[in-house]
Chains A and B, each alone.
Chain A
């Protein structure tokens, strides 16, 4: 446990400059956008030059970029992300309303891809070079080449339009008034296709890593010793080989979280899931740059937190990590 805390503290300290760079960088990028919040507001409500001037002054948009950056950083320190013109609500409320849906989608998709991917990887790696192995390897390569949004559309055509097993959009039946277990089932039914689309793509990655890892571990001495001891094949595969091949996969979990957040943007658009990804697309289409900035920040924090959790988990799994620091 102490190892974990040492690691945690070091990572947290290291992530502050990264977050700062993300904030400043994104702010400067969005500064380059033509027009600002006042233009967006006037675009929907209309007004004359005098109104524009007074709005600019009251919203603090006539000050220099540096002043506004400082003001933004100050409000960030108070966890205030600004105000969204499109939704007429504080950005923090809008984002945190949508965040649970994205987390649910991402979490389920990660569980699917990690679980199924590593299981299939174990099956493929148990007998390297066999027909099973080749079939799964080629299949995983083909899967990796599939665009996520297209897979989502194909799944919609097959399962939603033709077979009518699953609904094609949304996260739950609107105004159905369901609670408890019925609501969970409803959400699960709505999320089945998006989770499948998002999870199947990254499944291929975990499959290949697991298989490659197992091919590595098979050659190691302790496996030879286990076989010499006369352990059953199944026991060797699961308790000795797979367990050690699991470690690179755990690292991958953290790295893939950023990619999966990006992937959820498109999947949520295809399936109209009200999550963070679709919010980003709405922010882009309505030119609501403060909202986009807030989303990018929240996503960056999310990625850092996920990576932290994964690193701690890895340190718990692998006794070699951080041992030298603990001894010091």
Chain B
């Protein structure tokens, strides 16, 4: 095992099995970002569809869907992801789905609130008058207009997804065929006393990535807001 900054061909050192830490950072970045973006997209898609249906159709459907949303919100998201991955088995696809299952309720509630206000608007009434089928109204007219507040939340969801994926990998439930930052931190734990840098470096990478995602999202929100405000 090489320590960091000892050898210039291995700038961040290696772990106990001789695997290059810098290479691990790059490969782990792929997994973290892929899982973060995919699970956030899945959560937003599921949440928007559920929220739009609940808000638009109303009545019993709304009640049932809201109770289901409550149920998903009551169980801690991480625990649900844990149970899901342990039942189905660890793979990238399952991890993405597990994280999405824990986070879709936020977009669902926001979408539903937006839809409840949108469906009273005149253009919806006129769509009904010209005989558009309700489901078509819901997905062609209402949903695109309910999307902006949900998308404003998307950077927070991506950031949370990256952190959740890291926690799942740390506990050994990530995809075993991929390098992940959480997995690197877990492996560094065994030599925490003598080589703490093995656990600290991937963590710094995580902090910087999540921070970057947050700031990018806030920047995007500000840009679109000023653009809309100006026009």
Contacts and interface: CB of A to CB of B under 8 A. Distances in A.
B4 interface: no
Interface stretch (A45-53, A58-66, A258-266): A258-266
Interface of A: 17-19, 21-22, 25-26, 29-30, 32-33, 141-142, 144-150, 153-154, 156-157, 161, 258-259, 261-263, 265-266, 269, 280-281, 284-285, 287, 289, 292, 295-296, 299-300, 303-304
A261 B79 contact: yes
Given A18-B74, A145-B207, A154 B200 contact: yes
B210 A145 contact: yes
B220 to A, nearest CB: 16
B71 A25 contact: yes
A162 to B, nearest CB: 9
Contact of B206 (A144, A150, A261, A280): A150
Contacts of B207: 142, 145-147, 150
Given A21-B67, A145-B159, A157-B196, A29 B167 contact: no
Interface in B63-87: 67-68, 70-71, 73-80, 82-84, 86-87
B68 A21 contact: yes
Contacts of A18: 67, 70-71, 74
B127 interface: no
Interface of B: 67-68, 70-71, 73-80, 82-84, 86-88, 102, 159, 163, 166-167, 170-173, 182, 185, 189, 192-193, 196, 199-200, 202-203, 206-208, 210-211, 214-215
B82 to A, nearest CB: 6
A42 to B, nearest CB: 19
B206 A147 contact: yes
A30 B87 contact: yes
Top 7 A-B residue pairs of the complex, sorted by shortest distance between their CB atoms: A262-B78, A150-B203, A145-B210, A262-B76, A21-B71, A284-B86, A261-B76
Contacts of B166: 147, 149-150
Nearest to A161: B193
Contacts of B170: 147, 149, 266
A265 B167 CA distance: 10
B191 to A, nearest CB: 11
A303 B189 contact: no
Contacts of B73: 258
